[in-house]
Every structure is written in C-alpha cells, then in structure tokens.
Structure 1
Amino acid sequence: MQINIPRGTQDILPGTVEKWQYIENRIKDLCDRFQYNEIRTPIFEHTELFLRSVGDTTDIVTKEMYTFEDRGERSLTLRPEGTASVVRSFVENKMFGLPSQPVKLFYLGQMFRYERPQAGRFRQFVQFGVEAIGSKDPAIDAEVMALAYSVYESLGLSKLKLVVNSLGDKESRLAHREALMGHFSPSIGEFCKDCQSRLEKNPMRILDCKKDHDHPLMKSAPSILEYLNEDSKQYFEKVQAYLTALNIPYEVDSNLVRGLDYYNHTAFEIMSEAEGFGAITTLCGGGRYNGLTEELGGPEAPGIGFAMSLERLLAALQAEGIELPIEKKIDCYLVALGEEAKDYTVGLLNELRKAGFSAERDYLDRKVKGQFKAADRLQAKFVAILGEDELKENKINVKSQETGEQKQVNLDHLAAALKDFQSY
C-alpha cells in the first residue's frame, strides 16, 4: 500500500531546497548585521502557554492548534507561532538579567496550524521571526520593521507595501472597546458565530474576521486612532517619523488588527502587490506586545517582533519572476577506465573531498560516455580521467569543461592541480 504525504505538508526536494538554503543564509546574514541572535525553542510546548499568550478568542487557539495529551496526561501543543515560546524562554532563562539589553533574538523553524491548505499556506510551515525584548523605545519598532523590509528587498522583491497602525495602550484600547461594542451590538446577529462570541471577549477581533469583512458595519466601525490618548498618539507619531528617517515607505491603516491578543501600540504588515500573487497578500506581520512577559510570570519587559512565512516569501518571488542566483555545480568528476582505475578512484575521491573540493564518481558501472554525461548533468567544472596506463605512470588527465583545456598531471598532485586550474 502506498502511503502519501499528509495534507497541508510538503516534501522540499533537491533542486528546490537550495532556494530555501539561500534564503535562510540571507536571513541569518541580515540578522547578524542587525545584531539579532538565534534562539531555538521546542517544537511543542504546554498548551497553557498559547492559551495565555496568543489568546483564547483567536482562530489559532479555537480552531487551528495541534493539541495532544502525552502519556503523563499533560496537554501539549505543536507550536503554532514563535513569539510565545521565545518570551517563555526569555522569562524562564532570566534573559532580562543579561547585561546587554534589549535582548534581540531571531528564530527560524517549523510551525503547525490546522487550516485549509492553499497556495503558499500549509499546515506545517517554516516561519522566520524576530523579537526585541526589553525596550519601549519607538526606534526599536522602526528597526524591527526595517529588518523585515530588508529581507524582502535583499532578495529582489520590489512590489511591497508596508501598512502600520497603532492599537494604543490599555487605556486607549478600553475606550475603543466600548465604542466597538456600541457599534456592533445592535446588529451582532447578522455576524458569524465567531464574531458574536468575540463581542464581549475582544470586540477588536471582529475587525479581523474573514467571513464578515464585507459587512457595511466593518467599514463604518470606530477607528482606534480616534481613541488614542496623548501618550499613544505621540508614540505612534515617533514610529512614523523613524520610518520616514529610514526611507521606508508606509501607509497608515486604522483597520489593521493583528490576529493575536498580545499586541498593543504598533501593529504592522508587509504585503505583496505583485500581479497574480493571490487574494491573501500578507507576507509578514508583527507588532508590539508590552505586558506579555508579565503574563508569563516575568518582570516588565516590553517587546516587539514580527513573523514571516518562508513559503509566502517563495510565492512572492515567483509572482515577481525573480530567480535566485543559485549555482549548483561540483568541482570535479572522476572518470575511470578499467577495474583497477575504478578501485583507485574510491580513495582519490575522498582525498579531493578532504582537500575542500566537491567531487563525485560513477557508482553504476557506466561506460566512459555515460560517465561524461553524468559529469555534464552535475555541471562539473573539471573532469579527471584515469585509465589503466595513466595509473601505472601515476598520472591523470584533467579537463576544464568550460574551456576544453586539458593537461596531464601527477596523480598525487591532483588537488593542487585543480587549485591551479581554478586560479586562472
């Protein structure tokens, strides 16, 4: 019986995985420049972590988490997002006591959500995110957005749109909450069941509903910007001023609501405006989450971060027709003529690899013509041909596949000869 891959997952095969590696290396390079250090957290956590941090009214918690009970009857959940785990680790490992503050971290790993698979969206997906914890300076908000924007720009994407909003502080959100409840209450029966339950728990989440986004009351809903107190207004104005100083174009969208309960103050999304990208244009989202460390048992340590899906990033590259500059070539292919020569290439191949070359030989007992074809398929820069006569004379013929130049060298000096060839 053939067993197929689970729905919503994918095999990333050779030929494609190199694109992932290229992107991952670019991300790590940018994080190094911005001074964000990598953190790796468990792939599953106690379910309570996500209930307390992400919020029990979110789609992630109510519909999308992969939750199971282990043999000790503990409820565990495959991580659906990265921030909760990073903040849990920040608190548990007392990183708030480190001399260097704020603590700037990045993660790159698999997340799991049970949602309907579609283009660029999977049930198991790879997410890159950063968290800067320990500063309430609006300049760090701008830096986080700049890092996210730099990832896309450095890969050649140009059809981008950064959208920002302020969700305000606790006082501002309470005032906005009352206004939203008064706005939606008279007609809440016209909305989906999720929105009806959100009215009392978190009415701002109604604005994020995918089912009722075209309802007329959505467009006329009170804007959070109308309810920002003076401190929240000044904070948001500073963030915008810093984005301008960084020459990052942006738009303010008062209806932007991030889908997680822990956000406050700055919220943002980066979208693709590439033709044919699809109805869901969001590439990346993030925001500030002051109060989350306290919720998870730590001291006050305001934070901000973002998360981006690598699958969505790859889809955006495809939509803009961008080919990554990936060169998959090997340095040398060993062609052997005769049994003794074939036996000798086993050790010779290992010597080349130890010397730092990517090298390969035939394992299917091909004829000479077949071995040369194999070298072409692997895009070998050089072919080294060893026959019985050459073996007796301790010689080997080296041919450049690019120029056609060929010369005979001492068999013991093949690695040095390849280096000389490459230096021309």
Structure 2
Amino acid sequence: MADHLTIGHDATLTQVVDRFRRHHDLRLLAVLDERRQPVGVLRELDVRELLFNPFGHALLRNPSFGDAIAQLIRPATVTDHDTPLPDLLAMHSDRGVVLVQHGTFLALLDPEQLLRMASRWHGDASALAQARSQRVHAAANAFEAGIKALANDIGTACSAIGRVAAELDQRATTTHGSAASVAAAAHQTAVGMVDIEQRGRALAQSIERITRDAGEALRLREQASAAVERTGTQVRSLSDVATTIEEMLALIRGLAKQTNLLALNAGIEAARAGAAGTGFAVVAGEVKSLARQTEAAAGDIARRVDAVHLLLGDVGQGQAAVQSAIAAIGQITTTIGTAVAAERRTTQAIAERVEEARGAGADIDARAGAIAAAADGIGDRAGMLTRLVEGLSGLSRQLQGRASELVSAVA
C-alpha cells in the first residue's frame, strides 16, 4: 500500500523512469486515475527496454512522447481484497495482481510476492497434510484395534446366540409335539361337534313338528271354544224358551180357572133358570171362546216345544264337536309326548357328546398349559436373545463412534 507502488495516469515517462531508478526493487507500478481506480500497470521491464534503446534518451526528450505513458500501460489483473489465497495464486502473471476495496486501489502484488506467498501457502499446506496424515495413521491403527476387539465381542455374542437358537429349536420341537396332540384333541372335539350338530338338526325338526302340532291344537282348541260358546248361546235360548213355556203354562192355568168359574156360573144359572136356557147359552159361548183360546195356546206350546227339541239337537251336535276336538287334542298331546320322549333321548346323546367335548376341552386345556409353559421358556430365551441383540446394538454403536472419530480425524 506504499505510495511508491502507484502513479497517476497523467504522469510523464520521465517521472516513471525516475520512480524505477529510486526504487531498485520495484518491478511494477499501478497506474491510477483521479479516483484512485486502477487503469493498468507499468512493468519495470518495459521501461528498461525503452532506456536501453539507442533512441531511448531522445524519446524521453521528445515532448510528444515523453509526456505520455499510455503506450506503456498494460492491462492489470484486478480483484477484491478478500479474494481467497488459492484464487489469487491462480491469477499469477507477470503483471501481478491489483487488490481493490470498493473499486479503489488497496495494494499491488508483484510476481515475486505472489511466488513467496505461494511458497509459504504450499509449505503450510504440506505441514498440515503431514500432521493430518499422522493423525489419520494413528486413528487408523486405533480403529483397526477397535474393530478387532469388536469383532471378537461380536463373535462371542454370535456363539451365545447360536446356543440360544439351538435351545429355541429344541423347545420348538417340543411345542410342535404338543401342538400335534392338541390338534388330535381338537379333531375329536370337531367330530363330536358334528354329531351334536346332526342331533341338533333332528331336534330342530322335532321342535318344528311340535310347533306345527301345537298350532293345530290351538286351532282345534279355538274351534272347541267356539263350539262351547255356541252351546252356551243355545243353552241361553233354551232358557228363554223355558221361560216362555212357563208363561204359557201360567196362561193356560188362568184360562182353566176362568173356564171352571164360567162352568160354575153356567151351572148356577142353569139351576136357577130351569128350563130357560138363555143364560146358559151365554155361558156356553164363553166356554167355547175359552176353549178356543186354550186350543191356540196348546198349539203355540207345541211349536215352542219343537223349537226346544231343535235347540237340544244343536246342543248335542256341539257337544259331539267338543268331544271330537278333545279327542284330537288328546292325539296331539300323545304326539307331543312321543316327540318329547325322542327329544329326551336326543338331549341325553347331546349331553354325552358334551361330556366328551368337555373331556377333550380338559385335555386341550392341559396341553395348552404345557404349551404356555413352553412358550414362557421360549419367551425367557427370547428375552436373553433380545439382550444379546441389544449388546450387539451397543457394539454397533461403538463401531459407529469409532468410525465417526476416524471420519473426524480424516476430515
């Protein structure tokens, strides 16, 4: 950033030469405009060639040439001041690198400075690489030792897992035998259940027959009830007829009394009149009228008696229907009893089959208990196997940790 590294773009060639003469180690000059922004660079080599030219001094004294440096300015490699070092080294050229900050000149790096910076950077990188190589080597050795130890531990765990697996296989064989016994018992139970099913079907059919017979009995009972009701109605009708007959009989009795009285009066009158028959004729007329009334009442009574006979016939028929219905109900009852007896035998057979099924169930229960115990043992072994697997997981995590350490060391 020294001022002798820069010169204005309007400087003369004489000023440039004087700058290089006073600073013997100067190889480049940054040419800046009035805003201190780089325009290009002047190389000490180009100025020297000009001076060594036989006509160089004459050119310096020539106002048209000596007052301008534009013909000696070369394009500059310009980059920001925070450009990474590897990128700066990649920009290396005989014109150096001009560093700027916000477009304003900050520093000038000539080729020698870039070479020294590259040398130091490569030296530092080499030292870092060597240290890293040593760390990687040490980590690799430690990793190898850890891997060997982990391999031994995993081998031991695998042996234990193999033994547990053999035990589990043996227990599985035992469990398989028990399962076969359970299967046989289940088959026996299934056969019994088939028989129960068949008998259940027969029971259902018998119950269906009983239901039909019960329906028929209900229908017959309803018919009998209707017949009995009709008989009751007829009996009430007979009662009414009997009442009417009693009334008619009372009327006949009254007529008989009147006839008797008239007859008595006729006799009295006849006794008084002697031969005169006028009064007797009147009495005789009355007697005749009463006789007609009596005859009509007797006819009415006869008709009503016939009606009573008809009603009694209906009552007899109703009783016969009731007796038939009762007989049919008795037959149905007999059928129901027979069906119930058959169902009793079926029930007994079902009970026997159920008892067999219960025995098979007890055997299944015992076998299931043995299977459960074996399963418990297998569960314990499975727990041990789980713990071993967890141990293997821990070893795997250790291996991952070692690998992470190695990766961290290599990174």
| TM-score, normalisation: structure 2 | 0.15
Structure with more contact order per residue of length (Cα contacts < 8 Å, sep ≥ 6): 2
Question: Which structure shows the higher helix fraction?
Answer: 2
| TM-score, normalisation: structure 1 | 0.15
